[in-house]
A and B are shown apart, each in its own frame.
Chain A
């Protein structure tokens, strides 16, 4: 099943440009990202629960960098909101931003899994 344009979590063509149209490489990158995503979100959840603004900033920054490689603009934006809150040590609105980021990450995960399947079938 191909994702419609309105539900795009990452911009495939832009992302492919970053890897010189190497679909296999992009799928490999997706695998690396997916293998680390759970650890990062769990760590971010714990930092938010503990009110640890410094850790929130650092983990959100790392997540932002990772999803940026797939041109997942909505994810980048959501991660950046949390990073800014951590940087300003004001986590008062963090739960809403965190919900938004989780939803975007979920969409991205699904589409990256589809990409992996597609790449595997091309092989």
Chain B
């Protein structure tokens, strides 16, 4: 109630002079007074008028003060409504009974006006305090209910945002155990246009809503850019830029991004501020450790120049494990931590590689014994089983309707500075998807362009030999050399020419790539590409052949022309299907 509203007092006495005297004294002090002649009237009046205090005689006809007080206290419920008894006796038994039935104070008859006012005022202070507490409690309860509803909605929205349909990516296993309704851990899985599996496991500072607040942004960048073919470094830089802009000081995002290049038996990774990821070899043990070499995202506006990815060669059967710090920091009822060493021992030394992940999950559950954890626990395992996911780039397949095929051509020329600074392919593929409505063919076009472009850059300009990649040591050497030679490259260019012409059911896209390198002897290669499908080198070009109507090397081998035929149903006409 507001302070401007008069407090209402119920005066109950069968003696008219007493009722009148108390009423007059209280009205003089601006109380609102209602009166009853017996207990029964008092109960009825209390129910109707809900006064804030009651002054109650003991001995009355019909219903006495004890019984009336018990009934009034019952009706008041949680709210403290003081009852002050009027008594002419100091009989101990009577006083005890007064208290037992809910009385809060006594006034002796004849009633002293100053004592009446002092006692009433004191009791009403308690009344107002409890009323405030109850109001606040009810508000808190409502807020809590509202908050729980909001969290449930947010949880569903976040779950839909984070968990795209990855059912086709069968070689990824997850364990997600949030410490509260909304997790500060993020686990995103998708495929890139070239068929590789890309996984992001991240951990925002803290947990709950404040930690999950940046998740939508991370999802948008990760899924959106991966679907368009952007590299891990591009994705990570974009996430960092955006997170730095929106996150408050002290909130950041530690993460690891892993990309399994299935066709190349290669793992590319970027790790910032998160516990070491690891590769478990086919026969157990840690084959590669992937430590954090970068700052977590959102701390600085621009990542360092040496913030790059690392590459590791894999064999079919290798398994990659990444975890949030909640796992190593999980604790049991005695406060003992699970720890990184225990984690690695269980996962990497388990004799059955297929069972290692489940064993680790069970070990954490057994270790914590149901103890409520203070941090989110997330882990993911990617199994290199040598099989490509059937469904590519879940975020990218957006059929945009049948655009009329048109005549057009475009030319791009990339010099050394540009080649060092950006990967132009995602932008070109995006352009193709938008101007010609080729979204349904994005993955194929990306694969063709990526392979041809990489050949031009790696072999044409940088002079790298694919044979190097046939051994694990050579594999790492290859990527190390690639970085060094690209950094040292002083001249050169790659030119891309795209020509499109309409056909009855779709169109033909001619892709011409030319580099300034010395070229190569392609005669022998053209006769053997189909038999090369399972070899580690040259396999990418074989894939391009299956997607295209034709792939032809020209001149000294520094130019290549690929013809890709598409139709509105999303079908492509490759060489392996016959032309």
Using a CB–CB distance below 8 Å, which chain A residues touch chain B? 17-20, 22, 25, 28-29, 32-33, 36, 58, 61-62, 64-66, 68-69, 71
Instruction: Determine if A58 and B110 form an interchain contact, defined as CB atoms under 8 angstroms apart.
Output: no
Q: How far is the CB of A74 from chain B (nearest CB, A)?
A: 14
Instruction: Determine if A17 and B15 form an interchain contact, defined as CB atoms under 8 angstroms apart.
Output: no
Q: How far is the CA of A14 from the CA of B61 in the complex (A)?
A: 29
Q: How far is the CA of A64 from the CA of B87 in the complex (A)?
A: 12
Tell which of A17, A33, A58 touches B17, judged by Cβ atoms closer than 8 Å: A33
Instruction: Determine if B59 and A18 form an interchain contact, defined as CB atoms under 8 angstroms apart.
Output: no
Instruction: Determine if B25 and A19 form an interchain contact, defined as CB atoms under 8 angstroms apart.
Output: yes
Instruction: Determine if A20 and B113 form an interchain contact, defined as CB atoms under 8 angstroms apart.
Output: yes
- A68 contacts which chain B residues (CB < 8 A)? 88, 109-110
- B422 contacts which chain A residues (CB < 8 A)? none
Q: Which residue of B lies closest to A72 (CB)?
A: B110
Q: How far is the CA of A28 from the CA of B109 in the complex (A)?
A: 19
- B15 contacts which chain A residues (CB < 8 A)? 62, 65-66
- B20 contacts which chain A residues (CB < 8 A)? 28-29, 32
Q: Top 7 A-B pairs ranked by shortest CB distance? A: A68-B110, A65-B15, A69-B17, A29-B17, A33-B17, A69-B110, A66-B17
- 23 A-B residue pairs with Cβ-Cβ distance under 8 Å, sorted by A, are A17-B112, A18-B21, A18-B110, A19-B21, A19-B24, A19-B25, A20-B25, A20-B113, A28-B20, A29-B17, A29-B20, A29-B21, A32-B17, A61-B59, A61-B88, A65-B13, A65-B18, A65-B57, A66-B16, A66-B18, A68-B109, A69-B17, A69-B18
Task: Report the interface size class on chain B.
Answer: 20 to 34
- A66 contacts which chain B residues (CB < 8 A)? 15-18
- A36 contacts which chain B residues (CB < 8 A)? 16
Other A-B contacts than A20-B28, A32-B20, A69-B21, 18 sampled, CB-CB below 8 A, are A17-B113, A18-B21, A18-B112, A19-B24, A22-B24, A28-B20, A29-B17, A29-B21, A32-B17, A33-B16, A58-B61, A61-B88, A65-B13, A65-B15, A65-B88, A68-B109, A69-B17, A69-B18
Asked whether B14 is an interface residue with its Cβ less than 8 Å from the other chain, the reply is: yes
Instruction: Determine if A18 and B24 form an interchain contact, defined as CB atoms under 8 angstroms apart.
Output: no
Q: How far is the CA of A62 from the CA of B13 in the complex (A)?
A: 10
Within 8 A of A (CB), among B250-305: none
Instruction: Determine if B24 and A71 form an interchain contact, defined as CB atoms under 8 angstroms apart.
Output: no
Instruction: Determine if B14 and A62 form an interchain contact, defined as CB atoms under 8 angstroms apart.
Output: yes
Instruction: Determine if B110 and A71 form an interchain contact, defined as CB atoms under 8 angstroms apart.
Output: yes
Q: How far is the CA of A20 from the CA of B88 in the complex (A)?
A: 21
Q: How far is the CA of A15 from the CA of B34 in the complex (A)?
A: 23
- B18 contacts which chain A residues (CB < 8 A)? 65-66, 69
Asked whether B111 is an interface residue with its Cβ less than 8 Å from the other chain, the reply is: yes
Grouping DSSP codes into helix (H, G, I), strand (E, B) and loop, the A interface class, with mixed when no group exceeds half, is helix
Binary CB contact string for chain B from 504 to 517 against chain A (1 if under 8 A, 0 otherwise): 00000000000000
Q: How far is the CA of A29 from the CA of B21 in the complex (A)?
A: 7
Instruction: Determine if A64 and B21 form an interchain contact, defined as CB atoms under 8 angstroms apart.
Output: no
Number of A-B residue pairs at CB separation under 8 A: 55
Q: Which residue of A lies closest to B19 (CB)?
A: A32
Instruction: Determine if A18 and B17 form an interchain contact, defined as CB atoms under 8 angstroms apart.
Output: no
Within 8 A of A (CB), among B21-72: 21, 24-25, 28, 57, 59, 61
- A29 contacts which chain B residues (CB < 8 A)? 17, 20-21
- A62 contacts which chain B residues (CB < 8 A)? 14-15
Q: How far is the CB of B369 from chain A (nearest CB, A)?
A: 68
- A20 contacts which chain B residues (CB < 8 A)? 25, 28, 113
Instruction: Determine if B110 and A32 form an interchain contact, defined as CB atoms under 8 angstroms apart.
Output: no
- A61 contacts which chain B residues (CB < 8 A)? 59, 88
Q: How far is the CA of A17 from the CA of B18 in the complex (A)?
A: 14
Q: How far is the CA of A17 from the CA of B13 in the complex (A)?
A: 21
Q: How far is the CA of A20 from the CA of B25 in the complex (A)?
A: 8
Q: How far is the CB of A123 from chain B (nearest CB, A)?
A: 17
Q: Which residue of B lies closest to A28 (CB)?
A: B20
Binary CB contact string for chain B from 428 to 446 against chain A (1 if under 8 A, 0 otherwise): 0000000000000000000
Q: How far is the CA of A62 from the CA of B112 in the complex (A)?
A: 18
Q: Which residue of B lies closest to A25 (CB)?
A: B24
Q: How far is the CB of B106 from chain A (nearest CB, A)?
A: 15
- A58-B21 contact, Cβ under 8 Å, with A17-B113, A20-B113, A69-B110: no
Q: How far is the CA of A36 from the CA of B14 in the complex (A)?
A: 12
Q: How far is the CA of A35 from the CA of B109 in the complex (A)?
A: 21
Instruction: Determine if A25 and B21 form an interchain contact, defined as CB atoms under 8 angstroms apart.
Output: yes
Q: Which residue of A lies closest to B111 (CB)?
A: A18
Binary CB contact string for chain B from 79 to 119 against chain A (1 if under 8 A, 0 otherwise): 00000000010000000000000000000011111000000
Q: How far is the CA of A19 from the CA of B26 in the complex (A)?
A: 10
Q: How far is the CB of A114 from chain B (nearest CB, A)?
A: 18
Q: How far is the CB of B65 from chain A (nearest CB, A)?
A: 13
Q: How far is the CA of A68 from the CA of B13 in the complex (A)?
A: 14
Q: How far is the CA of A61 from the CA of B111 in the complex (A)?
A: 16
- B13 contacts which chain A residues (CB < 8 A)? 65
- B110 contacts which chain A residues (CB < 8 A)? 18, 68-69, 71
Q: Which residue of A lies closest to B24 (CB)?
A: A25
